[in-house]
Amino acid sequence: MDSPRFKREFVLYGLAFLLAVTLRLIRLAAFPLTDPEAAAALQALDVVRGLREGIGPHSLYVLLTGAFFFAFDSTNFFARLAPVLTGSLLVFAPMLFQHRLKPRTSLILAFFLALDPGLLALSRQAGSAIFAVTFLLFAWGFWERGHMKWAGISAALALLGGPAFWPGLLGLGLTWAILQAMNYRSVDSDRPSDLRGFGLAFLAALVLFGTFFFLVPAGLGGIFDGLTGYLRNWTVSSNVPSSHLYLSLLFYQPLTVLFALVGIIRGWMVGSRRVTRLSIWLLVAILLAVFYPGRQVHDLVWALIPLSALAALELSRHLDVRAGEQTEVLGVTALTVIILIFAWLDLASLAWSPAVPGQANLRLVLFVAAILLLAVSLLLVSVGWSIRSARFGAVWGVSIVLTLFTLSAGMGAGHIRVEHSAELWDAGPYPAHADLLAATVDQLSQWGTGSDTDLPVTVLNLKSPALMWALHRHEVTVVGALDASTSPAILITPLQGEPALAAAYRGQDFTWNQVPTWQGGFDAWLQWLVTRNMPQSIDTILVWGRADLFLDSTP
């Protein structure tokens, strides 16, 4: 490959990074932190405040975010900034595997990683798996390239990245074992490695970054917390059915799923070693997520990497259009896009408009007819012009439509849209009125003391990290029972509350955790696919303000 092409590739990787970081920064602080996010953010805040006991399993996130809190402010934006930057860096990982995937495929993979809805969602969540994913891939890539010191540093950062490091390492180890059993030996497996340099760099980075340059020695304990947390979830049952993992792949990654399936079939038929390795890794990653007793949808993250790589391999085969074919290919592409958009609008109208007797069947018939029309049109193009023009035009048209769908799904999964939507990739229940509750408490404090944060808050019988984060600028006391001899100025209770409070307090209810029910048949899931609306179960809490805090109170 010549020098100019390298320069163009670097610019395109820069565009992929710019796309990734832009999508991850848009409306980053628009929605409050969920319980899992808030738990990690509160640990970072404790580091800043000097409370360093029990740093938690997400050592790298806690230490980096603690630095942001110390240098700037403890806001939702800075609580999510470290995952954003780490997730954006992931687009450079394919550069380290160009010797295996080829430059064009690696570049396509970089854009897939930038746009993938699952990776986008994790990159916008505090304390997510994105640290382990990014740095373990960098460690593997540097190892492949022979940069052992950088591989050691990246491996240490991956180990500090949280519990997601262990299923990733386990998946790669099982894949390697299966390939060894199949006598799939890497051509450069005998390349000499500087294991001493790797080990020294690993230990040095682990100690320096794990203790944040010896400022937070407790950070190293997060390694054991991550391992024990992952092992503990092998003994508990999840409330997430395995079907949600399959539906997630179908509804969020249709582009990569389609091309990966085609690539797997073709690769196994021709005996492609690259496809064989990646498809086995994909299968292992999916099975580890599905059969994990404590599974969550975000456990699928390790399957997204080989899935995207397989799709990039297949898509890269459909880019070599000859000069004389361009007009024909563009015509077929436009036809494919128009028909597919019509088919989608026809199917989506079932969710947009009220059900009318007989209309649903008619729209389904129109949807099937549109797909058949596309198939017949491609067949006619193959006969009249060329099979290549039909194939390239169909692939380009499908890619354009599914890329738009993927971008839309990513905006939902990452909560970039103005309205909060129900998403399978959510980190936890959504605290709907967290900002409103915090503003109300600030106003009560202003009335009582003249300052937004001086008045202490008492929380009764509630365990919610999201609530503690929303009130983290106040002095908060959590109690299991209310002392009859005390009368806290501000009290937060469950919906039932305390009957005796009504006389001396004024209360206001707030919608707290919203949890999608994820129930229903085809109609409910189609409604969600189009509108992102799903029936929700709701928890309500009460904020009580002592009567003398209000402006109209009488002495």
Report pLDDT digits (tens) over 406-431.
999 999 999 999 889 999 999 889 99
What pLDDT does residue 4 have? 43
* End-to-end Cα separation, the chain, in angstroms: 84
When mean pLDDT is compared across 90-104, 197-211, 496-510, the lowest value belongs to: 496-510
Q: Specify whether the CB–CB gap between 433 and 467 falls below 8 A.
A: no
Rounded Cα gap, residues 12 and 454, in angstroms: 51
> Quick one: tokens of 476?
């908060």
Residue 430: name the closest of 139, 80, 30, 90 by CA.
30
- Return the sign of the alpha-carbon dihedral for residues 454, 460, 461, 467: negative
Q: What's the rounded mean pLDDT across residues 1-7?
A: 46
Q: Specify whether the CB–CB gap between 412 and 421 falls below 8 A.
A: yes
Q: What's the rounded mean pLDDT across residues 384-403?
A: 92
Provide the domain count of the chain.
Answer: 3
- Other Cβ atoms within 10 Å of 262 Cβ, number: 16
Report pLDDT digits (tens) over 111-150.
999 999 999 999 999 999 999 999 999 999 999 999 999 9
Q: Quick one: 37 and 182 in the same domain?
A: yes
Torsion of Cα atoms, 420 then 423 then 429 then 431, to 10°: -10
Rounded Cα gap, residues 57 and 480, in angstroms: 27
Q: What's the rounded mean pLDDT across residues 242-266?
A: 95
Rounded Cα gap, residues 63 and 55, in angstroms: 9
Q: Quick one: 479 and 532 in the same domain?
A: yes
**Can you give the length of the chain in residues?**
555
Q: What's the rounded mean pLDDT across residues 304-317?
A: 96
What pLDDT does residue 50 have? 83
Q: Quick one: 444 and 480 in the same domain?
A: yes
Is residue 278 situated within a structural domain?
no
Rounded Cα gap, residues 49 and 41, in angstroms: 12
Q: Which residues contact 532 (CB under 8 A, 6 or more apart)?
A: 412, 417, 421, 422, 423
Report pLDDT digits (tens) over 44-85.
999 998 876 668 899 999 999 999 999 999 999 999 999 999
Q: Quick one: 7 and 132 in the same domain?
A: yes
User: With 80 as the cut, is the pLDDT of residue 478 above it?
Assistant: yes
When mean pLDDT is compared across 15-29, 279-293, 508-522, the lowest value belongs to: 508-522
Q: Specify whether the CB–CB gap between 282 and 304 falls below 8 A.
A: no
Q: Which residues contact 319 (CB under 8 A, 6 or more apart)?
A: 104
Q: Quick one: 154 and 72 in the same domain?
A: yes
For every residue of 40-83, DSSP letters joined together read: HHHHHHHHHHT--S---S-HHHHHHHHHHHHHS--SHHHHHHHH
pLDDT band at 217 (very low <50, low <70, confident <90, very high): confident
Domain of residue 201, residue span: 3-238
Helix (H, G, I), strand (E, B) or coil at 171: helix
Q: What's the rounded mean pLDDT across residues 224-228?
A: 90
User: With 70 as the cut, is the pLDDT of residue 434 above it?
Assistant: yes
What pLDDT does residue 40 have? 95
Rounded Cα gap, residues 38 and 493, in angstroms: 19
What pLDDT does residue 116 have? 97
Report pLDDT digits (tens) over 153-193.
999 999 999 999 999 999 999 999 999 888 766 555 555 56
What pLDDT does residue 497 have? 65
> Quick one: tokens of 193?
């490695």
Torsion of Cα atoms, 501 then 502 then 504 then 505, to 10°: 90
Q: Quick one: 436 and 409 in the same domain?
A: no
- Other Cβ atoms within 10 Å of 540 Cβ, number: 14
Is residue 169 situated within a structural domain?
yes
Residue 298 C-beta-side C-alpha neighbours within 13 Å: 24
User: With 90 as the cut, is the pLDDT of residue 320 above it?
Assistant: no
Q: Which of 199, 221, 238 marks a domain boundary?
A: 238
Q: What's the rounded mean pLDDT across residues 481-505?
A: 81
Is residue 513 situated within a structural domain?
yes
Distances (CA, A) of 394 to 31, 325, 389, 397: 39, 13, 8, 5
Q: Quick one: 104 and 135 in the same domain?
A: yes
Is residue 129 situated within a structural domain?
yes
DSSP 8-class letter at 358? T
pLDDT band at 1 (very low <50, low <70, confident <90, very high): very low
For every residue of 4-23, DSSP letters joined together read: HHHHHHHHHHHHHHHHHHHH
Is residue 256 situated within a structural domain?
no
What pLDDT does residue 112 have? 97
Q: What's the rounded mean pLDDT across residues 343-356?
A: 78
What pLDDT does residue 191 have? 54
Q: What's the rounded mean pLDDT across residues 437-442?
A: 96
Q: Which amino acid is at 472?
A: H
Is residue 509 situated within a structural domain?
yes
536-546 and 457-460 as β-strands: parallel, antiparallel, unpaired?
Answer: unpaired
Residue 75: name the closest of 112, 37, 119 by CA.
37
Distances (CA, A) of 402 to 241, 361, 483, 485: 26, 25, 59, 64
- Other Cβ atoms within 10 Å of 375 Cβ, number: 12
When mean pLDDT is compared across 15-29, 369-383, 488-502, 508-522, the lowest value belongs to: 488-502
pLDDT band at 554 (very low <50, low <70, confident <90, very high): low
* Mean pLDDT, the chain, integer: 90
Distances (CA, A) of 332 to 254, 316, 342, 494: 21, 19, 15, 60
Q: Quick one: 109 and 229 in the same domain?
A: yes
Q: Give the residue with greater pLDDT, 332 vs 520.
A: 332
Distances (CA, A) of 455 to 273, 473, 546, 554: 66, 10, 12, 20
Phi, psi of 164 (to 5 degrees): -65, -15
Distances (CA, A) of 32 to 28, 155, 296, 431: 10, 32, 21, 7
Residue 529: name the closest of 353, 298, 350, 403 by CA.
350
Distances (CA, A) of 247 to 124, 252, 257, 279, 297: 21, 8, 12, 19, 10
What pLDDT does residue 7 have? 59
Is residue 387 situated within a structural domain?
yes
Residue 132: name the closest of 97, 96, 168 by CA.
168
Residue 21: name the closest of 96, 119, 128 by CA.
119
Q: Quick one: 39 and 87 in the same domain?
A: yes
Q: Quick one: 216 and 162 in the same domain?
A: yes
What pLDDT does residue 2 have? 39
Q: Which of 238, 256, 285 marks a domain boundary?
A: 238
| Percent of the residues in the chain that have a pLDDT greater than 90, as a whole number | 69
Point out which residues pair with 510 in neighbouring strands. Answer: 541
Helix, strand, coil distribution of the chain in percent, nearest 5: 65, 5, 30
User: With 60 as the cut, is the pLDDT of residue 321 above it?
Assistant: yes
Q: Quick one: 399 and 443 in the same domain?
A: no
Is residue 497 situated within a structural domain?
yes
Torsion of Cα atoms, 448 then 451 then 456 then 459, to 10°: 90
| Percent of the residues in the chain that have a pLDDT greater than 70, as a whole number | 94
Q: Quick one: 457 and 352 in the same domain?
A: no
Q: Which of 238, 261, 280 marks a domain boundary?
A: 238
